């Protein structure tokens, strides 16, 4: 195989509880991942030079060693003494530093793509081991599932059998947020009695969106707003438009709302688009 093209999807965290700090400096989490149909397109072309070359149509994306695609390719190349290189072309649709895990998804897509392109024959469990070296969100994207529960650093993945596909309205403000900074500002709080991922999972399985929206959760919200208090206006705007329980995804600043239908999401997009440059209608993928 000389080349292939894959989609690299974003995610939302519909539930994110921070359980405490780990000895390695990271935090133990409990989170419900939802894969959504906001996707980058990544093309891989094998070369004989051994070089890893990256092109992207978004100038905000680094194309050198700081890119997780480069790190993923280099890990495989060194570990298995691969004589080939790869030319990677990214058509970027997922906003950068938005809490949607675009970089992590790109890294996972690279592991999957190069496993095929370089004919490595690696199992999922081996790829997951590499994913954990690259970042906490990377492992989720190696599982072919729209829903999963993430524990430990968020990188221990259990697929969830949730049959529904949910529509969302998604706004990404221009403010960039970085996980390290958000977690630095995080202060652990006492767990509330209704902070239970299993309750939310049950409501989603039963397609009870009305109840589910009451249990959407992100412990990082206070930290995000302490860094960027103006983002409160986005949350308020959602509420003013009748969107119940809007939440930040991951470390933000992306704000999503669960809505009843595609038509409802499209109507909200029309209202929000004049104010916000990046407004998306997305669905479970």
Could you give the CA distance from residue 283 to residue 257 in angstroms, rounded to a whole number? 11
Residue among 153, 161, 163, 73 nearest 109 (CA): 73
Q: According to DSSP H, which parts of the chain are helical?
A: 68-79, 102-117, 124-134, 179-184, 197-205, 209-212, 221-227, 232-240, 262-272
Determine contact, residues 230/238, Cβ cutoff 8 Å.
no
Identify whether 17 is a catalytic site residue: no
Which listed residue (11, 17, 92, 217) is catalytic?
11
Sheet holding 167-171, edge to edge: 247-248, 255-259, 167-171, 279-283
Could you give the CA distance from residue 197 to residue 210 in angstroms, rounded to a whole number? 16
Which listed residue (40, 137, 155, 219) is catalytic?
137
Identify whether 92 is a catalytic site residue: no
Determine contact, residues 162/236, Cβ cutoff 8 Å.
no
The residues annotated as belonging to the active site are 11, 137
């Amino acid at each position: 195989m000389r080349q292939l093209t894959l989609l690299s999807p974003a995610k939302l965290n519909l539930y994110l509880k921070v359980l405490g700090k780990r000895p390695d400096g990271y935090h133990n989490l409990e989170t419900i991942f939802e894969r959504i149909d906001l996707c980058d397109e990544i093309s891989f072309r094998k070369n004989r030079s051994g070089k890893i070359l990256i092109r992207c149509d978004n100038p905000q994306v680094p194309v050198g060693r700081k890119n997780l695609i480069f790190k993923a390719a280099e890990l495989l190349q060194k570990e298995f003494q691969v004589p080939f290189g790869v030319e990677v072309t990214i058509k970027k649709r997922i906003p950068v530093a938005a809490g949607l895990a675009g970089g992590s998804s790109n890294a996972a897509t690279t592991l999957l793509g190069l496993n095929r392109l370089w004919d490595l024959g690696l199992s999922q469990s081996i790829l997951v081991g590499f994913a954990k070296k690259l970042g906490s969100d990377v492992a989720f994207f190696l599982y072919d599932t729209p829903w999963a529960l993430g524990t430990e650093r968020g990188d221990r993945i259990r697929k969830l059998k949730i049959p529904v596909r949910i529509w969302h309205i998604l706004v990404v403000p221009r403010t960039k947020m970085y996980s390290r900074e958000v977690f630095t500002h995080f202060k652990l709080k006492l767990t509330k009695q209704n902070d239970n991922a299993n309750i939310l999972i049950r409501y989603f399985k039963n397609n009870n969106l009305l109840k589910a929206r009451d249990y959407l959760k992100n412990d990082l919200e206070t930290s995000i707003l302490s860094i960027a208090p103006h983002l409160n206006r986005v949350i308020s705007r959602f509420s003013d438009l009748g969107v119940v329980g809007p939440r930040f995804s991951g470390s933000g600043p992306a704000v999503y709302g669960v809505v009843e239908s595609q038509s409802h999401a499209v109507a909200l997009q029309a209202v929000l688009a004049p104010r916000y440059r990046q407004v998306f209608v997305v669905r479970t993928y």
